[in-house]
Amino acid sequence: MRDPSLDLKVIHLVRDPRAVASSRIKSRHGLIRESLQVVRSRDPHIHRMPFLDAGHKLGGRKEGAGGSDYHALGAMEVICSSMAKTLQTALHPPDWLQGNYMAVRYEDLVVEPIKTLRQVYGFVNLAVSPDMEKFALNMTSGPGYSSKPFVVSARNASQALSAWRTALSYQQIKQVEEYCQQPMALLGYERVGSPEEVKDLSRTLLRKPRL
């Protein structure tokens, strides 16, 4: 970052942690080892937040998910702690980072693909080609939302954004919000107050980010 010959810029793609948690749970078998590694990488000197539902792990087994959901949610504590540190640095950037960092929300990219794409390209002093704009529109205007993990395909943007609201239980949502409240606040992801708010898909949970 300090090497003037590189002119390095950082584009940080972020996403609602609740959607990230939902994807990790959906990919539970493919990511179980990775989730365990993430959980084990946490600083042992930092007090770990307890699960809001002390019986969550047992409950997951009853539903046939095993401990994978438990570990997927546990990984979110480590992921969001790391994200919070990164965002705090970006919020109060040192000299070498000023003007060289841009956070891009996944939600903005799929809701306003052309506008967001132009902002990203403008940040690195490039022009967006018509083919790239067409590609962005096609990838966010697909017929549906794939239930399979690790599949890159055109998808319906609104379905992609709201999928976690029907996939996660209210208890799982509150657990992620507990772990991720600081990055969510900085990035403009509103917390929910009731199961009814979660299911009301007409209500957006996005506000202007602080970054």
Helix (H), strand (E), coil (C) string for 146-190: CCCCCCCCCCEHHHHHHHHHHHCCHHHHHHHHHHHHHHHHHHCEC
* Per-residue pLDDT tens over the stretch 73-91: 888 999 999 999 999 999 9
- pLDDT bin (cut points 50, 70, 90) of residue 29 is low
Work out the average pLDDT over 131-159: 72
Work out the average pLDDT over 108-130: 94
Work out the average pLDDT over 58-78: 64
Give the pLDDT score at 45: 59
Q: Where are the beta strands (DSSP E) in the chain?
A: 10-14, 101-105
> Is the pLDDT confidence value at 59 over 90?
no
Torsions phi, psi for 104 (to 5 deg) = -120, 120
- Say which DSSP state 128 is in: P
Give the pLDDT score at 75: 87
Reduced DSSP (H G I as helix, E B as strand, rest coil) percent helix, strand, coil of the chain, to 5: 55, 5, 40
Work out the average pLDDT over 153-169: 80
Percent of the chain predicted with pLDDT > 90: 55
**In whole angstroms, what is the distance from residue 147 CA to residue 75 CA?**
22
198-115-209-183 Cα dihedral, nearest 10 degrees = 70
**In whole angstroms, what is the distance from residue 72 CA to residue 149 CA?**
14
- Say which DSSP state 12 is in: E
Work out the average pLDDT over 130-148: 78
- pLDDT bin (cut points 50, 70, 90) of residue 164 is very high
Map residue 169 onto helix, strand or coil. coil
**In whole angstroms, what is the distance from residue 13 CA to residue 159 CA?**
19
* Per-residue pLDDT tens over the stretch 10-23: 999 999 999 999 98
**In whole angstroms, what is the distance from residue 156 CA to residue 93 CA?**
36
Map residue 192 onto helix, strand or coil. coil
Query: Tokens 């809701």, residue?
Result: 111
Of 135 and 65, the structure prediction assigns the larger pLDDT to 135
- pLDDT bin (cut points 50, 70, 90) of residue 37 is confident
**Amino acid identity of 34?**
E
Q: What is the CATH number of domain 10-43+65-199?
A: 3.40.50.300
Contacts of 93 (CB under 8 A, 6+ apart): 101
Enter the pTM of the model.
0.81
Of 160 and 205, the structure prediction assigns the larger pLDDT to 205
> Is the pLDDT confidence value at 102 over 80?
yes
Q: Which of 34-48, 60-74, 77-91 has the highest mean pLDDT?
A: 77-91
Evaluated on CA atoms 181, 182, 183, 188, the torsion sign reads: positive
